[in-house]
Structure 1
Amino acid sequence: ILARCLNCETGITSKPCGVCSTCVEISEGRSIDLIEVDAASRTGVDDMRELLDNVQYMPSVSRFKIYLIDEVHMLSRSSFNAMLKTLEEPPEHVKFLFATTDPKKLPITVLSRCLQFNLKNLSPEQIVKYLAAVLDLEAIAYDESALWQLGLAADGSMRDALSLTDQAISFGSSEVREEPVGEMLGSIDAKVVFQLLADITSANGQRLLETVAQLSDFAPDYAALLDDILAALHRIAIAQAVDGAVDNSQGDEQQVLQAA
């Protein structure tokens, strides 16, 4: 997106047109002036020097030559040192985009030369809405509950959500259904969590043990189950304390309100 903002043929803009040849090439991953580097697999100083040797050359067709370095915190200290001089006096035709999930691991000498944008994780609700739009466009049948499982498993990453959805389509014979998605993810459905809480609050010990026995057949991660129960109890407590404070961002609004 940032590469399109910088190189869109309409000019540098926060809203690239998306239809010019440059925007299309970047979106389709065939722009020769956008160089993507996976720092996790190219951590050595020799790799960095090879990359920087080409910085001096002008972009072929675009306004800027853009180097997108993913997981930049994985670079070695020697690689960062080799990069410093270029970052101090970058050529006018070059832009560096550093992506990282752990900025604290970057040397302060590098951070001080960068403009930082802290991107927030997407909520499961946003992910579910987008996945639904994509699947509707592709005419693929799905259960909304399956999309919520995918949205929660993606942990705020749309890229991971789309990757998981591709796997779910293959796993579910060209459909995205609740049960196959649950089997694929090995996740515990929110319905089970609220069923456990309902059994506890109603003092229904027999039903509680039956639910736990059914869960054990799938060899669940019990630590994750406890985390899910704590998260549900937290949302229930908020719903009891403040009217209208609970939304459907986790896909469980009705269950939380009912439990509260």
Structure 2
Amino acid sequence: MGFTDGWDSFADGWDSFVAVVDGRWVDRRPRRPEVAGQLRRETQLMPWLAPLLPLQVPVPWIREETPLVVRHVLVPGRAIAASDVVNGRVIGRFLHALHHLSPIEACRHGLASAGETRRRRAATISRLRGEVMPLIPVPQRNSGALLLDAVQEFPIDTIVHGDFGPDHVLVGDGQVTGVIDFGDVHLGDAANDLAWPLFGAPPAIADAVVAAYGVTADLGDRALVWHQLGPWHEVTHGLDIGDPDTVQRGVKGVLARLNRPKG
């Protein structure tokens, strides 16, 4: 069966083309050349990582080399909804387990080093300053600059999912069934993965995550900063694909989150 057979409606990821094959497999192909290395890294890391986690996650392998296609078993479930508040403790336990695995062992199994994260973070912040900051009204630019300054200094010492949000947490029959899309997994700041659970999810989920994970005040403060940073990436994505509506939506999100109070 060819790659495009069984093309599915969620085949619109930012980094990869995605196809569901025979209702059983998920195939991914990089949208851009630089994503190929990211997919290959997953095929090295995830076989080590998956057995150590309390929920099902994708374990991809290389199906085709040219063009590169990686495949994994379809993780069952649908994206978590606001009504699934009972799952907050499960989410908290999952993140706690992920964040307490050995970074040294992860790097031995393909995870990029802290130095690589530091370089990528610096490049990302530089781009956000140069391309997003000019789109922010002048009165809000100081708050934006402080946000980027803060992120620059955040820890790089934990295995993080890197894109932990409701689209990637799956549920079925009222229970969390798995977590998908580890394309952004990296060595970074644990608070990155807590941004959506604490500040984007319903309060009942946030409270349960705090209790199950053991979120400290410092972690919560950093998670808020990562939450505030989220729409900045939507702006750059819109710029990359030449979509003014996505850019405008991202700028609105930036302004809505910039002055969100703590707590």
Band the TM-score falls in, shorter-chain normalisation: under 0.3
- Please tell me whether Structure 1 or Structure 2 has the larger radius of gyration of its CA atoms: 1
Q: TM-score, normalised by structure 1?
A: 0.27
Q: TM-score, normalised by structure 2?
A: 0.27
Structure ranking higher in strand proportion? 2
